[in-house]
Amino acid sequence: MELFFRYVGENWLYLVELTYQHILMVVSGLLLALMVGVPLGILAARVPKLAGVILASANVVQVFPSLAMLVLLMIVFGLGFNTVVIGLFLYSLLPVIRNTYVGLTQVDPAITEAGRGVGMNPLQLLVLVQFPLALPFVFTGIRVAAVIAIGVATIAPLIGGEGLGREIYSGINMDNSARLYAGAIPAAALALLADFLLGYLQRRVGWQRKAASKTTA
């Protein structure tokens, strides 16, 4: 461990840069997944006939090993940042779609009927009633997707990407445990931190939901 701490002390600025690159890839992939996955989850909940097709299509991506998927994407899109982000986007889709779908289908029909009773149209029902109630489920999907994306992003250097995976693979290739740990430990810490922060937000949304329902009652 002495070598590890010495290496980190000498190269901390470079490790901060790699961590930033890693976070940037993950956040970009997650944002794309939210932009596409949430509408697809809403569509699946609104049109039950499409739910099976949408969920099965998203599930196909999870069948592919992450490295194989990134290599296939590299053939189409080439090496670099964009290819990694597309891969992270695809791997993050299923948790977002599935949890959005589940959250909306779990909304109490009585609440929906009450909204209709006060004159809300379908869009107002979705935006003001159903989606806010489904938010804890949506955050669960984001939480799962973030942890998956952080892990998959560690193999980004194999297709020309950046991030903490560079230190991991450099450590493996050079048989340098200090470099290996310098990449692996921050990556694991990022996954734990993302899980903790998103879990906290999920609980806050859940508490607010319960408080709102008590107030309404």
Query: pLDDT tens digits for 192-217?
Result: 999 999 988 888 877 666 554 554 44
CA end-to-end span of the chain, whole Å? Answer: 58
Sign of the CA dihedral with 81 first, then 60, 139, and 125 last? positive
Compute the distance between CA of residue 104 and CA of residue 133 in angstroms, rounded to an integer: 8
Which tokens hold the place of 198?
A: 């998103």
Q: Which domains does the chain have, with CATH numbers?
A: 2-211 (1.10.3720.10)
Cα separation, 155 vs 118, whole angstroms = 52
What does the pLDDT read at residue 3? 83
Angstrom distance (rounded) from CA 190 to CA 124: 37
pLDDT of residue 217: 47
- Evaluated on CA atoms 194, 198, 203, 204, the torsion sign reads positive
Q: What is the mean pLDDT of residues 87-98?
A: 94
Lowest mean pLDDT among 9-18, 115-124, 139-148, 182-191: 115-124
Mean pLDDT in residue range 80-88: 92
- What is the predicted pLDDT for the residue at 66? 83
Structure tokens that stand for 85 in this block: 């982000």
